[in-house]
Amino acid sequence: MSEQPIIKIRGLSNSFGDQVIHQGLDLDVRRGEILGVVGGSGTGKSVLMRSVIGLQRPTAGEIEVLGENMIDRSEDEAKNIRRRWGILFQNGALFSTLTVAENVEVPIREYFPHLKPPLLDEIAGYKIAMSGLPADAGPKYPSELSGGMRKRAGLARALAMDPELLFLDEPTAGLDPIGAAAFDELIRSLQKRLDLTVFLITHDLDTLHEICDRVAVLADHKVIAVGTIAELLALDHPWIQEYFNGPRGRAASVNHGEAVPG
Ligand SMILES: Nc1ncnc2c1ncn2[C@@H]1O[C@H](COP(=O)(O)OP(=O)(O)OP(=O)(O)O)[C@@H](O)[C@H]1O
């Protein structure tokens, strides 16, 4: 794993009216890692992700993604960077009037408008299979799929353009524990196979233990700590201790065979 950050955030501030969300937030995401982002509800995890992908204009700060400055880019420049990442939004954000295959084809058509259906279908079929969906999922509409299958369809679309970077917003939310564990496994295996860097917002302690290389903690308007779970546990911050060392945190540690302090 290289030390060169694939996402570099410095001095990021975001506010809505009087409500300060981020102030002076710094964060590096290293190439090839799965970085988990955690924090209490409303601490601004989604706003952080939206800032990085250019959907939220920060009030101050610098954001570099894949070596490119993300602030004040022209639409053409932004489009060129966007094709290098994939995003799985919390609810899957699939177009309900398109089939799964058509959903996967949306970004491909945007960048390669001249590709003909046989090739488009072939690429979509490949991404659908890669996401662990059966081949017969392609012609189905999102409403015909289970929640877990919809997530996989969203993932297939996120992978459509062979991204280097994947943004996942609470990918296991709403899945049963077995479905969530299977989805974790899928993310880990895809990350290895495709050499992806993953920015992953989650509340799921099992996901953090199972697949995250490092975890960034949002509190007090910034990233207060980033490291492995063992490194975070060594810190004396009340939220971190409560989160990882509370009853659920301890159960997750035990389930993953880690030593639980005191
Ligand atoms: N477009 C917006 N306009 C005004 N306020 C917003 C906007 N987007 C987010 N907020 C506010 O910013 C705060 C942070 O929101 P965000 O969704 O990033 O939190 P979060 O950490 O992802 O929370 P959760 O864990 O509950 O999903 C919230 O108080 C939210 O209401």
Write the DSSP string, 29-70: EETT-EEEEEESTTSSHHHHHHHHTTSS--SEEEEEETTEE-
Note the ipTM here. Answer: 0.97
- At 257 the pLDDT is 66
* CA–CA dist 156, 117 (Å, integer): 17
Does the beta carbon of 14 lie inside 6 Å of ligand 1?
no
- At 260 the pLDDT is 55
8 Å CB contact between 38 and 46: no
Going from the C-alpha of 228 to that of each of 173, 232, 239, the distances in angstroms are 22, 6, 16
Select from 99, 89, 120, 88 the least CA-distant residue to 196. Answer: 88
Does the beta carbon of 99 lie inside 6 Å of ligand 1?
no
| pLDDT tens-place values along the chain, 262 residues long | 556 799 999 999 999 999 999 999 999 999 999 999 999 999 999 999 999 999 899 999 999 999 888 887 888 888 888 899 999 988 778 999 999 999 999 999 988 888 888 999 999 999 999 999 998 999 999 999 988 899 999 999 999 999 999 999 999 888 888 889 999 999 999 999 999 999 999 989 889 989 999 999 999 999 999 999 999 999 988 899 888 887 677 667 767 766 555 4
Does the beta carbon of 74 lie inside 6 Å of ligand 1?
no
Write the DSSP string, the chain: --SSEEEEEEEEEEEETTEEEEEEEEEEEETT-EEEEEESTTSSHHHHHHHHTTSS--SEEEEEETTEE-TT--HHHHHHHHTTEEEE-TT----TTS-HHHHHHHHHHHH-TT--HHHHHHHHHHHHHHTT--GGGTTS-GGGS-HHHHHHHHHHHHTTT--SEEEEESTTTT--HHHHHHHHHHHHHHHHHHT-EEEEE---HHHHHHH-SEEEEEETTEEEEEE-HHHHHTS--HHHHHHHHSHHHHHHHHHTT-----
CA-proximal residue: ligand 1, atom 2 (nearest): 16
- At 158 the pLDDT is 95
Burial of 242 (0-12, 13-18, 19+ CB in 10 A): exposed
- At 124 the pLDDT is 94
Ligand 1 atom closest to 39 (CA): 21
Does the beta carbon of 42 lie inside 6 Å of ligand 1?
yes
All structural domains of the chain = 34-58+75-256 (3.40.50.300)
Q: What are phi and psi of 91, to 5 degrees?
A: -95, 10
* CA–CA dist 111, 38 (Å, integer): 33
- At 79 the pLDDT is 83
- At 261 the pLDDT is 54
